[in-house]
Chains A and B, each alone.
Chain A
Amino acid sequence: MHTEDPTAVLVAAARQGDEAAFEALVRATYAQTYTLALRLTGDEEDASDVVQESYLRAYKGLARFRGDAQFTTWLYRITANCATTHLGRRHRRRTDHLADDATVVDLDPERDPAAQAEAGALRDRLEEALAGLPPKLRAVVVLRDVYDMPHEAIAAELGISVSAAKVRLHRARRRLREVLFPLPGESAAGDHEERSHAV
């Protein structure tokens, strides 16, 4: 039996001018969109501004949404673009960490408690390490490694070349690895140790 995707139904109705359908889409997706915006900006206030701007752009551009991608994928691209514009407009370097009181809701409850606790601790350290990255590196690693966005889409939304996106991803991963899993002789701050032994 064929069952239609409820999001697709809402998108189709919203495209016909059904404002209640668009409101339902907002209600269904705004928390995830906020999560992405917060990860990209590292600041709650900036994230809220970015989310509002993103939905406004989505509302105005809904007629251009062809439906060949998922609505959330399209929305995440808009959010990435808005975050880049927003941070560029602010002209200030963000080093703030994610707020300590930000409540995290895990949507994957099928893990045993011990593994969940361990994963939770690692996740918290990772969130902190991500927040400590320069925004340009953070944006690429979040979009690629958390949201599975293709390099081409990341480059397009951040206004950089594909090769620049790949280089930023490489640097971001290296920094995160150095902070989270420093190797013997490597400081957690990510200092590079001169390694010269050959094999």
Chain B
Amino acid sequence: MRCEDVAELLPAAADGIVPGGLRGLARSPGVGLEDRSARRHVEHCVRCQAELVQYRRLLRTLHGLRTEVLEPAPGLLADILATLEAAGERQAVRSLLTGRRVAYVGGIAAAATAGAAGAILLATRTRRRPLAS
């Protein structure tokens, strides 16, 4: 196995992950340095050992960034809260309008029902009235 084949496995081998799409690039489809020939190569190749060490150092440094916070511009918090407030107000207006719409529709429906009931009652009484002879 050559260094260039092993080099393809090292970025993932540093934390034990091998992208499926890269397996084909290795001579034998193994999983990182669990691949016996890759492991044997690294055990005897100072250059590949150094590269693997550098990948591990890179991962440690990347992980270290997790505890760091980049200070935002002073106005950001106010901007976020203003955006949320505007959204909250829009939401309130929308729910108010929705509520009124429901009330209007309900009122119209009630009036229509009452009208229809009155018309039916009137029609029934008219039909029952005996004919004057």
Binding site for B on A (CB under 8 A): 19, 22-23, 26-27, 30-32, 34-35, 38-39, 44, 47-48, 51-52, 55-56, 59-60, 98, 102-108, 119, 122-123, 126-127, 141, 145-148, 151, 163-164, 166-167, 169-170, 173-174, 176-177, 180-181, 183-184, 194-199
User: How many residues of chain B have a CB within 8 Å of chain A?
Assistant: 48
Query: Which residues of B come within 8 Å of A, CB atoms?
Result: 1-4, 7, 11-12, 14, 17-22, 41, 44-45, 47-48, 50-51, 54-55, 57-59, 61-73, 76-77, 79-81, 83-84, 87-88
Known: A167-B21, A181-B57. A141 touches B62 (CB 8 A): yes
Tell me whether A30 and B76 are in contact in the complex, defined as CB-CB below 8 angstroms, given that A181-B57, A199-B3 are known contacts: yes
Q: Are B76 and A34 in contact (CB under 8 A)?
A: yes
Known interface pairs A55-B80, A145-B59, A181-B58. Does A32 touch B69 (Cβ–Cβ under 8 Å)?
A: yes
Closest chain B CB from A86 CB (angstroms): 14
Besides A30-B76, A183-B47, A197-B2, 7 more A-B contacts (Cβ < 8 Å) are A19-B88, A52-B80, A108-B64, A123-B61, A166-B17, A169-B19, A177-B54
Interface of B is mostly: helix
In the complex, the answer to whether B22 meets A170 with C-beta atoms within 8 Å is yes
Q: Could you tell me the distance in whole angstroms from the C-beta of B2 to the nearest C-beta in chain A?
A: 5
Instruction: Report how far A194 CA is from B50 CA in the complex, Å.
Output: 17
Number of residue pairs spanning A and B whose beta carbons lie under 8 angstroms apart: 162
The answer to whether B63 touches A145, judged by C-beta atoms less than 8 angstroms apart, is: yes
- For A32, list chain B residues within 8 Å (CB): 69
How many whole Å from A47's CB to the nearest CB in chain B? 8
Contact A106–B2 (Cβ < 8 Å): no
Which one of A31, A119, A145, A170 contacts B71 once the chains associate, using CB atoms below 8 Å?
A31
Bound-state Cα–Cα, A29 to B64, Å: 19
22 A-B residue pairs with Cβ-Cβ distance under 8 Å, sorted by A, are: A55-B83, A56-B87, A102-B70, A103-B71, A104-B70, A104-B71, A107-B67, A107-B69, A166-B12, A166-B18, A166-B19, A169-B11, A169-B12, A170-B22, A174-B11, A176-B62, A177-B11, A177-B54, A177-B58, A180-B54, A195-B7, A199-B44
